[in-house]
Chain A
Amino acid sequence: MTENERMLVIPGDDVTEPGMKAGTGTYKRDGKVFASVPGMKNVRSGYVNVAPLAGRYMPRPGDSVIGIIEEMGPSSWYVDINAPYNAPLHVSEAPWKVDFGETAQFLRVGDVILAKVLGVDELKRTNLTMKEHGLRKLAGGTILVIPHSKVPRVIGRGGAMIGLLKQETGCRMFVGQNGRIWVEGEVEAMAKVEKAVAMVSSGGQRDGLEESVRGLLASGMGDSNER
């Protein structure tokens, strides 16, 4: 199997490659490597991996995620990041100076934020930060949800797909690694984006996808396209 070849595997399939170590989505038994989730087998830098086609989003350090505030404490917010567990955002990781007990002044339950995963410990407790450049509260707009395994597809090669969507509709968009997409713009433009995202994340086709999206965005955009 070459570096670029990909193959559909399901749990229990033998994915052993000579000299390769067991990567994500796999497990080792009796010197052999097997798939543990349904997904695409790939071989990269000494590891055999299975990129999952299903399953919950599991946070990894460095992921940018779109979260929804679920609960407030005196010194932290608890954020739903579309993972099995909610994640605390401590006031020391917020971009504001927050006095003890004053968390509600800045973020309330239901507010949407763009945050980054700081760390995940062995109990899967996940810490978030908003201190880096570009991380902030997302006011207005709407959230689309797609399977997290489809996120790379919505972003496209080198950001081609997301760039196309932003450019053609004039919407502002953020794609979180956790499968949430925040969109803000004209009502009609947002509807277009929603349709295009549904097409990108569910379509079975592979070739000419960009052309189909272009076609979808162009149809009936004549009068409302003012960016």
Chain B
Amino acid sequence: MSGDGVKLTRPDGLRLDGRADGEMRPLAIEAGTLRNADGSALVEWGKNKVFAAVYGPREAKPRHLQNPMRANVNVSYNMAAFSVEDRVKPGGPGRRSIEISKIVGEALSNVVFAEQFPRASIDIYIEVLQASAGTRCAGLVAASVALADAGIPMSDLLPACAAGKIDGRVVLDLSKEEDNFGQADLPMAIVPKTGEIVLLQMDGHLTPEELERAMEMGASACKKIHELQKDALRRRYAAEAIMSGDAEVGQ
């Protein structure tokens, strides 16, 4: 995060990929993409391509990890070896993957009604097939759609987006170059219904004013992302909705 000597702004004032400061990369979400999982989603966000798969609720194993009050929400974030240009260092989850698994799981625990499934675990797998900055946000967006697709009760979907600072300006949704050579990166996730912030990290430097501006930008992007998440789920269940008009009766 040292901005030394790398220009991230074009002569016409736009960013290197032609976006305006408050513009997000194109985002496409599809729910129900994996057959074996109880719920799944695919998120394509700029050059990012991230799958999320949800299994459960199922009995937590080993049994000493069972919580009699609520289900454990476990997240496992993984980057495919081929997801970045230099291959990912082999040998199990690294420091970064463990961190992302933890913060994404904690963010999701705020919206999942885990107390409805005592002794169970809800296992969420986030697989990054192609990475280009912002994969923790993409993973969280995918995971919350996959959770809903798995029919796990939750109070709201969780949208997430990063803001940051490049060439002294606050901008939305950093690209790979902007992340590497910019001055700050600020991923965040909010609960749309209440505005609660359930994930907020910062890498780099921002003044208090810039932080405020960046958080406003991120929050308004989250609203748009929330609409896309809802759309994806509506598309997934539209066909099934037509047919469920039958009577509910016993044998």
Enumerate chain A interface residues (CB-CB to B < 8 A): 6, 8, 10-12, 25, 27, 29, 34, 36-38, 40, 51-56, 64, 84-86, 122-124, 149, 152-153, 155-159, 162, 175, 203-206
Residue pair A11, B156 in contact (C-beta under 8 Å): yes
Closest residue of chain B to A32 (Cβ to Cβ) is B193
Query: Which residues of chain B from 145 to 175 have any CB-CB distance to chain A below 8 Å in the complex?
Result: 148-157
* A37:B153 contact, CB within 8 angstroms: yes
Of chain A, the residue at the smallest CB distance from B246 is A153
Contact assessment for A53 and B244 in the assembled complex, using a CB-CB cutoff below 8 Å: yes
On whether A11 and B237 interact (CB within 8 A), knowing A56-B57, A155-B249, A175-B251, the answer reads: no
- Spell out B's residues near A (CB within 8 Å): 38-39, 56-59, 68, 113, 117-120, 148-157, 192-193, 230, 233-234, 236-251
| Chain A, Cβ-Cβ closest to B144 | A11
Which of B117, B154, B192, B237 makes the CB contact (< 8 A) with A36?
B154
Q: Say whether A38 contacts B237, CB under 8 Å.
A: yes
Question: A162 near B156 (CB under 8 angstroms)?
Answer: no
Give the chain A neighbours of B150 by CB distance below 8 A: 54-55
**When A11-B156, A36-B154 are in contact, do A152 and B247 touch as well, CB less than 8 Å?**
yes
B59 touches A85 (CB 8 A): yes
Give me 22 A-to-B residue pairs in the complex whose CB atoms sit less than 8 angstroms apart, sorted by A's number: A6-B244, A8-B237, A8-B238, A11-B148, A11-B153, A12-B154, A12-B193, A34-B155, A38-B148, A38-B233, A40-B244, A52-B151, A54-B38, A56-B56, A56-B58, A84-B56, A86-B59, A124-B120, A153-B244, A155-B250, A205-B243, A206-B242
Question: Chain B residue with minimal CB distance to A158?
Answer: B249
* Residue of B151, B244, B250 touching A56 (CB-CB under 8 A): B151
| A84/B117 contact (C-beta < 8 A), A8-B238, A203-B243, A204-B242 known | yes
Supposing A36-B113, A124-B118, A204-B239 touch, asked if A6 and B156 sit within 8 A by C-beta, the answer is: no
CA distance A64 to B244 in the complex (A): 21
Q: How far is the CA of A44 from the CA of B164 in the complex (A)?
A: 49
CA–CA, A193 to B137, complex, Å? 45
Please determine whether B157 and A12 come into contact, CB atoms closer than 8 angstroms.
Answer: yes
* A149 nearest CB across to chain B (Å): 8
Q: Nearest chain-A residue to B236 (Cβ)?
A: A38
- The answer to whether B251 and A155 touch across the interface, beta carbons within 8 angstroms, is yes
B129 to chain A, nearest CB (A): 24
A sample of 10 more A-B contacts (CB under 8 A), given A152-B248, A156-B246, is: A27-B155, A36-B154, A51-B244, A52-B151, A53-B241, A56-B56, A124-B117, A152-B247, A153-B246, A155-B249
Cβ–Cβ contact B151 & A54, under 8 A? yes
CB contacts (< 8 Å) of B233 on chain A: these are 10, 38
6 nearest CB pairs, A to B: A55-B151, A54-B151, A36-B153, A12-B156, A8-B241, A204-B239
In the bound assembly, the distance between CA atoms of A84 and B248 in angstroms comes to: 23
Partner of A11, one of B56, B68, B118, B155: B155
C-alpha spacing A34/B111, complex, angstroms = 13
Residues of chain B lying within 8 A (CB to CB) of residue A152:
246-249
- A55 vs B152: C-alpha distance in the bound complex, in angstroms? 6
CB A2 to nearest CB in B, in angstroms, measures 13
